[in-house]
């Protein structure tokens, strides 16, 4: 996944 703001679907796998 990318870093930054992404769809709330990947927010769990991100560092937001």
DSSP notation for the chain: --SSS--TTTGGGTT-
Please answer whether residues 14 and 6 qualify as being in contact, where contact means their C-beta atoms are separated by less than 8 angstroms: yes
pLDDT at 10 over 60: yes
Residue 9: pLDDT band with limits 50, 70, 90: low
Beta-carbon contacts of 13 under 8 Å, excluding residues fewer than 6 positions away, are: 1
Please answer whether residues 2 and 11 qualify as being in contact, where contact means their C-beta atoms are separated by less than 8 angstroms: no
Region 5-16 average pLDDT: 60
Residue 6 confidence (pLDDT): 63
Beta-carbon contacts of 15 under 8 Å, excluding residues fewer than 6 positions away, are: 3
């Amino acid at each position: 996944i990318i870093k930054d703001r992404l769809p709330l679907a990947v927010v769990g796998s991100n560092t937001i």
